[in-house]
Each structure stands twice: as C-alpha cells, then as structure tokens.
Structure 1
Amino acid sequence: MNDMSVIRITQEQKLDRPQSGSGMDRVVARRGIPLNLRIAVAGVAAILVLAAIWWLMPRTGSQTIAADRVKISTVSRGTFEDFIPLRARVTPLVTVYLDAIEGGRVEKVLVEDGATVAAGQPIAMLSNAELQLSVLARQTEVTQQLNTMRSQELALAQSRVTNERTLLEAETDRRKAERQHDREAALIGRGFVSKRQFADTQDDRDYQRRRVAVLRNGQATDERLQASQLAQLRSAAQSLESSLTLARANLDALNLRAPVAGGLSGFSIQVGQSLSRGERIGQIDSPGRNKLVAGIDEFYLGRVQVNQAAVLERGGKTFRARVTKIYPQVQNGQFTVDLQFIGPEPADLQRGQTLQARLTLGDPAPALLVPNGAFYGETGGNWIFVATPEGTSAVKRPVRMGRRNSEVIEVLEGLEAGERVITSPYTGFADKDRLDLTR
C-alpha cells in the first residue's frame, strides 16, 4: 500500500511539473542547392530563351508567309505540246479604201453604207465646175497642138513627094543624056556630028549623072531628118493624147465607182457635202473571205514562222489556218501575225469578232513539266521556290526552263519529278532565299 502511494505521488508530481517539449522536438539539419548547379541551370535557361527568340525572329533572306497565300504545284513527267493560245480578231482578207480622186460637191449618192457592190458600179456623183472648165481648156489646147503637128507631118510628107518627083525627073534627064551621048558617039566617026556638039553632049551627060547623085544624097539626108522629126512628132502626139486622156479621166473621176466587188462600209457621205481631193470616203471588204489578226507575246518572236499551222474550233467543227505574214514590230510587249484559213472558213464570221485559236510551234515530245504560273514573269524561268516534303518551308533553287505553253512549262535542269514548287506570283518575296510557310 505504501508502494502504491509512492508511485501515485511520483506520477502526480510529474504531471504537475511543467513540460519543456525537449523530449518531443527533433532538430532537422537544412540542406541548400550548390552554387555551381544553380549557375549552370540559369545559363541553360538563358540559352534556351535566346534560341527561342532567334528562332522566332525573322531572319535575313527569309520571310514567313501563310501557306494558303501561295499555290504549290507538283513537278511531273508528261508530253509537252508545243503550242501557244491565240486571241485572234476577224478582219477582211482584202480591203480596198475609197478616196475622192478629185474634190467636188456631192450631187448624188447611189448606194447605201453596208451594201454589196460590183466592180465598176457607180456609187456617187460629184460636180466640180472649175475642174470641168480646166479639162475643156486643156482639151482645146491639146487639139490645137495635135492639129499643128499633123500639119507638120503633112508638110514633111509633101516635101518627100517633091524630092521623089525631082529625083525621078533627074533620072529621066540622065537617061536621055546618056542615050544622046551614045547616038552621037556612033555618028562622030562618020562626020555627021561635030566635035563641039559631041563635047556638049558629054558635058550634059556628066552633069545629069552628078545631078542624080547629088539628089540621091540629099534625099537620103532628108529621109533621115524627116524620119527623126516624124518620130519626135508622133511621140509628142502620144504624150498629148495621154495628157488629154488623163484630163478626161480626172473629169470622169467625179463619178465615183467601186474599184472591186465586195461589201461597202464606212460610206457616209451626204448630198451637198463638199469633198476635198484624196479624202477617205469608205472602204470595200472582200466578200466571204476573212483573215485572222493576232497579237503574240514577244517571247515567241524567234519561234513563229510563216506557214505554221493553227487550229480553231467553232460550232463543234475544227477549222485550220496558217501564218501568212509576221509583223516584227513589238508594241506593248507583243508582235502581230496574220493567219489565213486553209479550206472553208466559218460561215457566220463578222468583222471585228474575236476567236480563240492554238498556234502549233513544234511536235509533241516527252518532258519534265511544271504547271505554268505567274511566277515565270518574275523569274524568267531561271529559279523557283521548292517546297520541303513537310510543306513547312520553301527554298529558292536555280533551274533552267525551256518551252512553255498556256498550261505547262518544260523543265530542262534543276528539278525532279514529284518535287513541289510554288507557281503563284512572287510579289513581295522575290528577293528572299527562303520562305517559312505557316498553316
């Protein structure tokens, strides 16, 4: 009992004693991060930040662009058809312009604009009093000159007749003198003719001979001079006749006529209107015969040749044409060619109508092809942007391109089949070497 009391007192004493807590708390030692490790971590973080900034910053020679702003096409192998599309304008094959040869006042208009006329058909009548008086005066002058020349021709003819008559008389006198000389020569030996008489007869015979010789020489000289003079007179007469014919033609030109058959257009003169010499009054187009006039990019100037074939479709039918003339003058980046139909042409063609045609430049051939696009106008076919397989970027690459048509371009060097290239315009980034394509 006493022991138990002692124990209770002891526990109570322990309970009454203040608790210090030293028996329950434990001192924990603090452990810090090493300084070297902290420096290394900070350096790596700084490098990562700088790398991210460098990656996000636009680099020199590159540009970021949305992928949907560009057109990406695939390089493929196929058959290159060497042609170019043409936008051709229908023009009459033959056009004859009508000008007023002589000016005057319009008295009558015989046909209407748009009518079909025959060659030589009168279309209008003019009057010109001054021209008419001038032609009449010219005709009178020419007639007087012709009459004078004919009088000179008559005088020359009469002179020739006179010379021939004189020569005939001289020939007759010579023959008489020779016969008289022959008779007296037979009688002088018999004494029937005196020597004096015979000497006179000889002198007369010699005189007649010389006279005939002189007249013949003179007649030959006159013939040459007269022939030359007659030739000059006849030439002058022809010139005067031509002048008179021209004057009459000028007067007849007041009656306007259609020089060829065809459709009359641009003919809008009115009665009472005054026309000056050489004024354009209309034109006549060849009926049912047309040609095509087309403008072609100057890039093809060295490849287009006369007689190259062209094809056009109209109304479900195919029509053929050929190049007949090339105009090498370049205007606004184009030159012009004329094409003429081979065989029949469409029946419903109208002047000024526009048709689509294809001009063949060469035979089809297998080739590496890239779709034609606006990029060619900025690169000239010397380089192109090639997209990576992932499509996240595109890099400028030098290439060599050859022939092209409206659909594809022939690739000679620098690309492989299956590669993808940007064929849309390069406006705004043509000077870059790399494109970053964002989705």
Structure 2
Amino acid sequence: MLRIGLTGGMGAGKSTVARILAERGAVIIDADAIAREVVAPGTEGLAALAQAFGPEILAADGSLDRPALAARAFADEESRKKLNSITHPLVGKRTTELIDAAESDAILVQDIPLLVESGMAPYLHLVLVVDVDAETRIRRLVEFRGVPEADARARISAQATDEQRHAVADVLLDNSGEPGAIEPVVRRLWEQRLVPFERNLRAGTVAARELRLVPADPEWAAQAQRLIARLAAACGSAAIRIDHIGSTAVPDLPAKDVIDIQITVADLAAADGLRDALGAAGFPVKAHLAHDNPKPTGADPAGTDTALWAKRVHGSADPGRPANVHLRVEGSPGAEFALAFRDRLRADADLRSEYLTVKRKAEAAAADSSGEAAAEAYYAVKEPWFDDVYERIRGAAD
C-alpha cells in the first residue's frame, strides 16, 4: 500500500486535489471528515469538548456549534492544545481503522490539514502540498466560504507556515491559477509517479534511473533531508547515524540525479535486520551488483579485508526521486571513506574539477549501452580513479 500525505493551508484547494485523485482510483482518508465524525452527536468526543469548553459550544439540537468552538479553541495557544488533545487521539484511532480496511495495493491518500504540525511526514511514502500564498487563501475563505476575515487570519496563523510546509513537500502543487488548471498536473502526477511508485513498492523493485549528468540542483539537500527523515523513522535505534553522501551532497557539482544516503549501523546483521522495514518505507533492497560494493584495490592488495568493505544497498521505489541507500558498518573503511570523500570534495575545488572530468568520461562510456551494461561501463571508468583518490585521502589523514 502506498501512503500519500496531502496537505496545504486553509483555502488552498486540498479537496479539489483529493477529488481528482479519487477519480483516478485513490482511496481518500479525509482527516476533516473524520474529525467531524468523532464529534458527532452522541460521541465521546463531543461530550469531552463540551466538558472542556462549556455547553455554549453546543447548538440547540445538541450538535457541535463549530463557530462557537472555533471562537474559544483558537483564542490562544493553550486552548488550541486542549482541543487537539481531545480530537487528535480519536481521529488517529479512526484513521487506523480505515487504513487497515484498505486493499494492499491501494494508493491511499490521507488529507491531513495539520500534517506538518503532527510530525506525520516521515511516516508517509510521499507528501503532496497544495501551495497557495496566504493572502490568496484568506481572500478565498472570505469570498467563497463566508468566513469572517479576522477568523480566517486567526486560523491560518495557528497553522504551519508556508515555509514549514515546503520543507516536508516532496511535491508542490501550485493551485494559485485559474479554476481547473491544476487538474492535468494532478493527473500526470498520478500516472507518471504514484501508480509506478505503488507498483514498485508492492514488487520490491527499485525505480529505474538514468546514467546522465545534470547540473547541480539546489533542492538536492532538502530532498536528501526528507529521505533521511523517512529512513530514520524506518530504522529507529538501529541507525547510528544517517548522512547525505556522494556528489549530490556537494554544492555546485554536476551529478546523476540520484541521491546517495549512508546509514551507519553496528554490524551487517543490523543492516540485514532492516531489510523489511526499509522495503516497507519505500526503499527495497537492490540486487547485488559488482559496483555496489566497491573496494579500492589499493586499500588491500592481498584481498584480506574484503569483509571490511562489505555493505548492503537499497534503492528508492519512487520514480520521481531516485536514491541509493548504503548501509555500512561503523568504523569500516567504506563508511569512513564515503564521508571523507564528500568532505574533501566540498573543500577542494581542484578535486571537484578532476572528479567531474572523470564523471563525464564515464557518462560517455555508458552512452552506447543500456541497463546493467551501461552501469558497468560507467563504473569501469570511475573505479580506477577511486583507487588513486582513496590513497590520497588516506595519506592526508595519516
């Protein structure tokens, strides 16, 4: 099951995006709808709210008077926290029931207004943020929903900022245009990313990637941090540390659009023990390839320390964000070299230039092949160069 988080500020148009996804076949779990369900007349939730905020929040027919509750619950931070402490556990319980009822191959979209505030992002496979600036959202709430402007501003100010939402967004959906403009965007997202992502996740398949260099992307660092947060949630205490490594961790260095992450573990048994958890989080194990476990030949001419260079490799099932996840043992030559090489590249412009030249030669060598043959041609050029670089970095450390 592929679990997608959908969020955005009030008035951004989450319901529009949810409708389009539902029409394509997604299972929608609407946190607002659940929030209404758990405080319906006769529920324990409504009774708890009345006790906390007073009988004035009840309408004449015994149902919840939402404007009256909002006036009290959003008046200050303490009141808002009290509201959340009552409703969030009830919403969570009902959400779990609905998730458990969904089919195993579902693309399940959780419409969660407070996704950022609740810290849910690392526990979802992908986060979609419907993006509209605050002033436009306020205007929509006033004009189309009849919300008083002061109330609209108070509610929006109590939610996450645009910057906080952007930080967790794997996909930003700009809904500031004309009505209907977002529909083809969401349909392409469904067909080109969500459907293949779910298929790869179910099959335990790593998404295909291109062996092509692209200009450095300033978003790589933020994308890596989102991957690291998901990996940390999946690994728990088994991960000693998690780092962004490789070329995408070096500002301004052209690279393949594949983010490399290193998870440091106590031993290979710990790495193997994470196989299922990482697979479920969207990072299935990769089939063993010769270049997945590179060991500079100069590191050990006799071949006696091969085990010290051993690692486990997982990849991203998400076709929209290719990634390699390397699990290495703490203190091993491979783990230490990955970090030292990254740091040396960041500090040494000459080494960056030298490495880019090698990368371009590798790209050219792979251009006439495809699949694993292209990968082998690519790494056949790079790996001899790494022998020399390993010796240089090790010499500098000594």
Classify the TM-score, shorter chain: under 0.3
Greater relative contact order (CA < 8 Å, ≥ 6 in sequence): 1
Q: State the TM-score, normalizing by the size of structure 1.
A: 0.18
Give the helix-richer structure, 1 or 2: 2
Higher strand share: 1
Q: Highest Rg: 1 or 2?
A: 1
